[in-house]
A and B are shown apart, each in its own frame.
Chain A
Amino acid sequence: MIASIIASGLALGAVYALIGITYNVMYSASRVMSFTSGQLGMLGGVFGALFIARLGIPSVAGLVLTLAACAAVGVLTEVIAVRPVLAALDKHLYVLSTLAAALMIQQLAAIEWSTEPQPFPRLLGLGSGIFDEKFWLPVLACAVVILGLEWMYRRTLVGRAFVAISEDNFAARALGLPERRLRMASYALAGAVAGLAGFSSGQLLLAFFANGAMLNFYGFVPVALGGLGNNRGAVVGGLALGLFQQAANFIVGGVFASVAVFAVFIVVLLAAPQGLFGAPAVRRV
């Protein structure tokens, strides 16, 4: 039992953490929280199944194509839903535009792909039982993304440019950093991260359009708990959420488990609105 809880808890937790990182990357680039994060995760699974299972493309190429497609959708989000509202004085508009974009993506997937969960191909054929690849692939993906992001932010010029525009937008622009291109690149990166999350968890979640809404919420919880913009907090929050959810599933069963998760989430958020590791609020007047 415990082994099962840990295996599926870490797997799902890794997926939630990755979606949380998607939220964070988008936020760092644009100060916008986007409803499309979870939908991009869903697309990772759907595109993976489409390319590999339906079109018969080999796994590695399928992965690359999926990441590219999700990155493209990420950039599309930036262009149609984020960039136009950044200039507006009204700060709430981004919630609406990204919600609209997310709904459109979800409905398109439902109508064009299928309203029923579709099979996701077996990728490596490794492992069985609790060591089956469907449990450790998401965890591996999460580790790769975290290490990759750390390396990128510290060692590459592009990564440092990302950090710059997120820490002080005006100063970065004054230095001549191409803000718009960097933002588009950030959204592409966020799309790819989410796509990887969906792809690696495809065998667990199946290629299902409704995963988008589910990932939106469960991927947001690590961000809320870990603090906005804090990737390490998102990982800790995500894994904790995954383990808690699976433990609740085992003990009380599916329906009550989701009630438990929501209740705990709301209570924690009310107690610590900026997250458990988050930054304090800014000055108002």
Chain B
Amino acid sequence: MSDVVLAPPRAAGRSWSGAVPYALVLLAALALPLLGEDYWTVIATRAAIYWVLVSGLNLVVGFAGQLAIGYGALLTLGAYTSSVLVEKAGVNPFVALVAAAAVGAVAGVVVGLPALRLRTFYFAMTTLGFATIVTQVALAWTGVTGGGIGVPGPEMPAPFNSTTGFYVLCVAIAAACTAMTLNAAHSRFGRSLVAIRDAEVAAEASGIAKAPLLMLVFLFSGALAAIAGGLFASLQSYITPDAFTFDLSVLFFIAILIGGRGSVLGPLLATVILTVLPEIAAPLVAWSTFLYAALLLAIVLVVPGGIADVLDFASRRALPLGRAVLPRPALLPALLSGAKGQGALTLRGVALSFGAVRAIDNLDLDLHPGEVHGLIGPNGSGKTTTLNAICGFAVPQSGTAAVRGAALPMGNPALRASAGIARTFQTPRIVGEASVIDNVMVGGTTLGHATLGETLLCLPRHRRDEAALRHRALLALRIVGLEPLADVRADRLQHSELRFVEIARALMPSPAFLLLDEPAAGLSADEIGRLGELVTAVARAGTGVLLVEHHADLIFAVCDRVTVLNLGQVLATGTPAEVRAHRDVVEAYLGR
């Protein structure tokens, strides 16, 4: 548990210009019935219903990156649940929708569970399997679902049973879903999902536990999908299993990818486009799935970022050339206020083998708060493995670790952030599609307290969390000297800038111990100098820094103590001067 005090929030945050496209869409939607043509109202109702499902699925596919292709299963479940409840049990249609949402939530978790164990393609296949199972069960369970003959869809009470009335209801629900998913997207939940998708190890190191988060998202999107199913049944006025075709599942899935991952507006526009497209010309109806697929292929090959990428004008503005990263270490105490350490990070007798290869052997290490401890050695000596062991990415066969006296359980990387340990990586693990500040805010995930429910409804605690996190992230960026690039897409930055972004991210939770994995690799001499100043300042502020490096100059300049590894064993430990003169070290590594 972090006892960092978050600074009082400023009136920062997203400008209202981001809301304009959504307002336009809503206005267009509300103006449609004025055309007086029922046909387009029905098509628009369909688009709104599909969007209710897609908005939830967007969090699963677009944000979390889980390729759930067979989501039609949940539409089917929701449709049948609400229809059967209204038809056979006489339940009020709105109550039936809520019941369907509950069923959908549970089913969403069941469908999503394999995602925790299986890789992408395999998970996609299991969702297809689920889609088929649900349809077959609907077909076979004649007593409840009416089998092949189906059941009538729920008829909404007046005034929602007219074409226009039902349309307004669906638009209202769709608007609510848009608002909720937008709230989720611009929250630590949304950022965490994207982090899991694109930089899973960094996400874990930042304290993001994949399983509970994914299950929450599957729960939410399952509920939305089922609500969409109930509305779909009302629109169709009668449902049979053959109404839930594979083409529908494909439409939902493709809409998200054509719209662009990590965006809400993109998939919204894509859903509308894909629903309307086959209606523009009658012959298109037979070719609709072919067109969707061709569009998808075109998007993947030409603009993988989808519609959202095309609309992302901000990302095309040129960045200034010849930028320099100018950290301001003086600001550190404001960020690292709670890091005053009491007690060291200790490793005793740690041994880790990969198969027959002994990566580290009988390793003892002490990292004290306020000190910079260098870890050097030739390639393959076990430096990164040591970091991984501390962070829980690799589990040693023997040995213990402790933080401030308390034993540190091996494995389970997501617990390290709350234990006060943060790290950077050998190759920067950054979410390329997200902005720099979003990437940094990922580091502060454990500082937030709002639940998903509060986030969806944009309640005060969520808004406080967001404002405080953003303020803190800006401070971190100011410290590493990257504040001017805060809103730039991370994949537009130079390699050296990304290294500093990682450091800013790692500093967010005010860690007691900061582990840096070759942060100077790829930096110019100037930048290495500035990095050194920053590292020193971090240590002076009370954090213990473990610095794995190949740049001997940097090591000897900033480190208080140095440990040398060779072939997994500690060769020498001591001050830089002692180590530099050590005979074995000179032989094995440094040279004369």
Direct A–B touching, Cβ under 8 Å: yes
Q: Is the CB of A99 within 8 A of B296?
A: yes
A255: Cβ under 8 A from any B Cβ: yes
Chain A residues with CB under 8 Å of B453's CB are none
Tell whether A104 pairs with B287 under 8 Å between CB atoms, given A99-B69, A273-B118, A284-B201: no
Q: Is the CB of B289 within 8 A of A266?
A: no
> Nearest chain B CB to A28's CB is how many angstroms away?
15
CA of A111 to CA of B286, assembled, Å: 8
A269: Cβ under 8 A from any B Cβ: yes
CA of A255 to CA of B296, assembled, Å: 32
Q: Is the CB of B432 within 8 A of A255?
A: no
> Nearest chain A CB to B173's CB is how many angstroms away?
29
Q: Is the CB of B125 within 8 A of A284?
A: no
> Nearest chain A CB to B355's CB is how many angstroms away?
10
> Nearest chain A CB to B577's CB is how many angstroms away?
33
Interface residues of A in 251-285 (CB under 8 A from B): 255-256, 258-259, 262-263, 265-266, 269-270, 273, 283-285
CA of A273 to CA of B116, assembled, Å: 10
Tell whether A111 pairs with B120 under 8 Å between CB atoms, given A81-B297, A93-B300: no
A89: Cβ under 8 A from any B Cβ: yes
Q: Is the CB of A89 within 8 A of B119?
A: no
Q: Is the CB of A104 within 8 A of B293?
A: yes
B114: Cβ under 8 A from any A Cβ: yes
Chain A residues with CB under 8 Å of B133's CB are 258-259, 262-263
> Nearest chain B CB to A193's CB is how many angstroms away?
19
Interface residues of A in 101-127 (CB under 8 A from B): 101-104, 107-108, 111
CA of A283 to CA of B425, assembled, Å: 15
- The secondary structure that dominates the A interface is helix
Tell whether A97 pairs with B297 under 8 Å between CB atoms, given A259-B136, A262-B129, A284-B201: yes
Tell whether A258 pairs with B289 under 8 Å between CB atoms, given A89-B432, A103-B250: no
Q: Is the CB of B114 within 8 A of A104?
A: no
Q: How many A-B residue pairs have CB under 8 A?
A: 112
Q: Is the CB of A107 within 8 A of B289?
A: yes
Q: Which of A103, A220, A255, A266 contacts B139 (CB 8 A)?
A: A255
Chain A residues with CB under 8 Å of B388's CB are 285
CA of A92 to CA of B201, assembled, Å: 17
Chain A residues with CB under 8 Å of B132's CB are 217, 258, 262
A168: Cβ under 8 A from any B Cβ: no
Q: Is the CB of B296 within 8 A of A100?
A: yes
Q: Is the CB of B294 within 8 A of A33?
A: no
Q: Which of A80, A100, A104, A285 contacts B201 (CB 8 A)?
A: A285
CA of A84 to CA of B126, assembled, Å: 26
Chain B residues with CB under 8 Å of A90's CB are 304
Tell whether A255 pairs with B121 under 8 Å between CB atoms, given A100-B293, A100-B294, A107-B289: no
CA of A85 to CA of B257, assembled, Å: 15
> Nearest chain A CB to B360's CB is how many angstroms away?
15
Q: Is the CB of B393 within 8 A of A96?
A: no
A95: Cβ under 8 A from any B Cβ: yes
Q: Which of B129, B286, B293, B354 contacts A265 (CB 8 A)?
A: B129
Tell whether A270 pairs with B257 under 8 Å between CB atoms, given A104-B294, A108-B290, A262-B129: no
CA of A167 to CA of B85, assembled, Å: 56
> Nearest chain A CB to B364's CB is how many angstroms away?
23
Chain A residues with CB under 8 Å of B246's CB are 213
Chain B residue at minimum C-beta to C-beta distance from A256: B140
Chain A residues with CB under 8 Å of B200's CB are 284
Tell whether A93 pairs with B289 under 8 Å between CB atoms, given A33-B121, A99-B69, A100-B294: no
Q: Which of B122, B137, B290, B297 contacts A269 (CB 8 A)?
A: B122
A15: Cβ under 8 A from any B Cβ: no
CA of A94 to CA of B130, assembled, Å: 22
Chain B residues with CB under 8 Å of A107's CB are 287, 289-290, 293
Chain A residue at minimum C-beta to C-beta distance from B354: A283
> Nearest chain A CB to B206's CB is how many angstroms away?
14
Chain A residues with CB under 8 Å of B290's CB are 103-104, 107-108, 111
CA of A171 to CA of B69, assembled, Å: 36
Interface residues of B in 363-395 (CB under 8 A from A): 384, 388, 393-394
Which residues from chain A sit less than 8 Å from chain B, CB to CB? 33, 80-81, 84-85, 88-93, 95-97, 99-104, 107-108, 111, 213, 217, 220, 224, 255-256, 258-259, 262-263, 265-266, 269-270, 273, 283-285
- A selection of 25 A-B contacts at a CB cut-off of 8 Å is A81-B297, A92-B120, A95-B67, A95-B121, A100-B293, A100-B300, A101-B297, A103-B250, A103-B289, A103-B290, A103-B296, A107-B287, A217-B132, A220-B125, A266-B126, A266-B130, A269-B117, A269-B118, A270-B113, A270-B117, A270-B118, A273-B117, A283-B354, A284-B201, A285-B393
Which 7 pairs between the two chains have the least Cβ-Cβ distance? A103-B293, A100-B297, A107-B290, A100-B296, A262-B129, A33-B121, A100-B293
* Given A100-B297, A266-B130: 9 more A-B contacts, CB < 8 Å: A33-B121, A89-B432, A99-B296, A100-B300, A220-B125, A256-B140, A258-B133, A273-B117, A284-B201
